Amino acid sequence: MHTPRRFLYVRTLAAALCAAALGETFTPYTAFADIPAIAQRQRTEKKIFTDSEIVEGFLKIAFGAEYHLAGRVDRIRKYDGPVRVFADGTRADRKAQLAKIVADIAARVQHLDIAMVETSEDANVQVKLVRDRDLQRTIATFYGSERARQIRSSLDPQCLSGFRKNEKFEIEHSDVILTIDNGDFVFFDCAYEELLQSLGPINDTSTVPWTMFNDNVSRGYFDIYDQYLLNLLYDPRIKPGMTVQEVKALLPDVLADVRTWVRKVNNLPQ
C-alpha cells in the first residue's frame, strides 16, 4: 500500500492527442487493463450516480484546497486555453505511459484541449519524473527547503502537483512530480490524480467515496465519477473566478449536458 498522493497549492507558483469529437463514441480505455490492480477496480467500479452525488463531489473538490500556502481558495480555478504537457525524465517507458494517460484524459473531457509536447518551452504543465529516493530533493528544488520540510511533515507525499494562477483565477502553469520506480500501479494512480489536480480540482476530501481525490481511494485510471467532475469543471459555462453560488446556478443545465457526454464516451446505458 503506497502512501497517499497529496496536492500542493502554491499561488506564486494553455490540438489534443486524442480530441473527442461531439458525434464520436468511445469505448472504455483499456491500455492498462493488463495491470491486475487496475483491471479489478474497473470491474467493480460504481458507474451510476445521482445528480446530488455528482454535485456534492464537484463543489467539494473544485473549491478549497487540501494544502495551500497563500491566496483565496473560494473560486473556480482552471486553464482557460490549451494545456500542453512536457515530460522531463530519462525513462522512455514512463514517458510513453504518461502520453497515453494524457490522451485518455483528452478523449474523456469534452472541452479540454490537452496534449503532450516535445519541449519544455511549449508546455504549461511540466511533469518531472524522478526516482523515489530523489523525491524530497526535487520538492526542495521546486519549492525551497523550508516549504519542502513543511510539505514532508504535513503530507509525506509520494508524488505532488501544484499550479500558478493569475488574478482572474486562470491557471497559468502547473508542476507535477511523479516517482517512476514504485511499480506500475502507483505510477498510473499518481499520474492520473496529480495531472487532473493540476488542472484545477485541488481539494482532496475523505467524505466522497467515489473520487480519486480522496486519500483513501486508489484508482490507477480515469474513473466515471471523476470524469463527471472534470467535465463539469471544463464546461465553457463554468469560468475561472466563479463563486460557489454562481456555479450552483449553472450546474443543472451543465450537468445534463455532461451526463450525455460521459454516457457516450463510456458506452453507459441511458
Give the residue extent of every domain in the chain.
Answer: 52-266
Q: What is the pLDDT of residue 178?
A: 95
Q: How far is CA 224 from CA 21, 105, 242, 253, 261, in A?
A: 19, 12, 25, 19, 11
Q: What is the pLDDT of residue 9?
A: 38
> 165-196: string of b/e by CB count within 10 Å (b at 16+)?
beeebbbebbbbbbbbebebbbbbbbbbbbbb
Q: What is the pLDDT of residue 204?
A: 76
Per residue of the chain (270 residues), give pLDDT as tens: 344 444 443 333 333 333 333 334 444 444 565 788 888 888 888 999 999 999 999 999 998 654 444 344 689 999 999 999 999 999 999 999 999 999 999 999 999 999 999 999 999 999 999 998 888 888 878 777 776 676 665 555 678 888 999 999 999 999 999 999 989 999 999 999 999 999 998 787 788 889 998 888 888 899 999 999 999 999 999 999 999 999 999 999 999 999 999 999 999 987
Q: What is the pLDDT of residue 144?
A: 76
Place of cell 499561488: 11
From the options 3.40.190.10, 3.30.1050.10, 3.40.390.10, 1.10.10.10, give the CATH code of 52-266: 3.40.390.10
Q: Under 8 Å CB-to-CB from 28, ≥6 apart: which residues? A: 42, 266, 267
Is residue 164 within 8 Å of 9, Cβ to Cβ? no
Q: What is the pTM of this model?
A: 0.83
Strand partners, 9: 68
Q: What is the pLDDT of residue 219?
A: 85
Q: What is the pLDDT of residue 4?
A: 43
Q: What is the pLDDT of residue 152?
A: 65
